[in-house]
């Protein structure tokens, strides 16, 4: 993502990260708010603005963590749920070409085209498998509407409390979701 945002900065402004860092350093902003305001006047918004603010004032710990450290943090206080994550990632890898991206609070599964699912330890006793299904897909059975998952692309979720919950129904929903997002 870092490389993508750097490219976006260059594409939108015609100047690379090094040039922008030099400009920001020359202005010597005392706080994030003043830097954000100035960047806004320069036409730098969104992810490129976020990047430049972090370049000047520091990156959060979770952005400097390794993928393993991110997942360890998610399951530190709920180790019994970790096998569910591992099993879902293994299942996704046999469905098709899947990129796994670990985030601070969830793991994202991405097709060559876009995000299709996320895995989030929502409570101390449940992992939610979030699925990006068409919005007109009605919740049915264990498939529920997703109202507050970390990955905003997710529309539906299936709660999993044990490895036994990861059954053929879950496998079918994951496969269907993958295919819908390729």
- The 10s digit of each residue's pLDDT in 19-58 is 999 999 999 899 999 999 999 999 999 999 999 999 999 8
- pLDDT of residue 125 exceeding 70, the answer is yes
Give bridge partners of residue 145 from the DSSP assignment: 156
Could you tell me the pTM of the whole model? Answer: 0.72
pLDDT at 62: 67
Region of poorest pLDDT, from 21-25, 99-103, 121-125, 155-159: 99-103
- The 10s digit of each residue's pLDDT in 60-90 is 776 777 888 999 999 999 999 999 999 999 9
Structure tokens at 48: 């490129």
């Amino acid at each position: 993502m870092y490389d993508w945002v750097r490219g976006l900065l260059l594409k939108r402004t015609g100047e690379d990260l090094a040039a922008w860092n030099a400009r920001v350093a020359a202005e010597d902003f005392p706080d994030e708010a003043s830097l954000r305001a100035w960047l806004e006047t320069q036409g730098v918004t969104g992810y490129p603005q976020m990047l430049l603010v972090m370049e000047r004032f520091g990156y959060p710990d979770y952005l400097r963590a390794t993928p393993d450290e991110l997942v360890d943090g998610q399951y530190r206080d709920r180790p019994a749920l970790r096998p569910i994550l591992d099993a879902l990632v293994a299942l996704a890898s046999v469905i098709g070409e899947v990129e796994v991206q670990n985030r601070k609070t969830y793991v994202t599964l991405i097709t060559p085209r876009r995000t299709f699912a996320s895995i989030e330890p929502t409570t101390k006793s449940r992992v939610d498998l979030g699925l990006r299904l068409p919005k007109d897909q009605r919740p049915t059975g264990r498939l529920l509407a997703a109202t507050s998952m970390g990955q905003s692309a997710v529309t539906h979720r299936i709660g999993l409390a044990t490895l036994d919950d990861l059954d053929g129904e879950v496998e079918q929903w994951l496969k269907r979701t993958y295919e819908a997002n390729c």
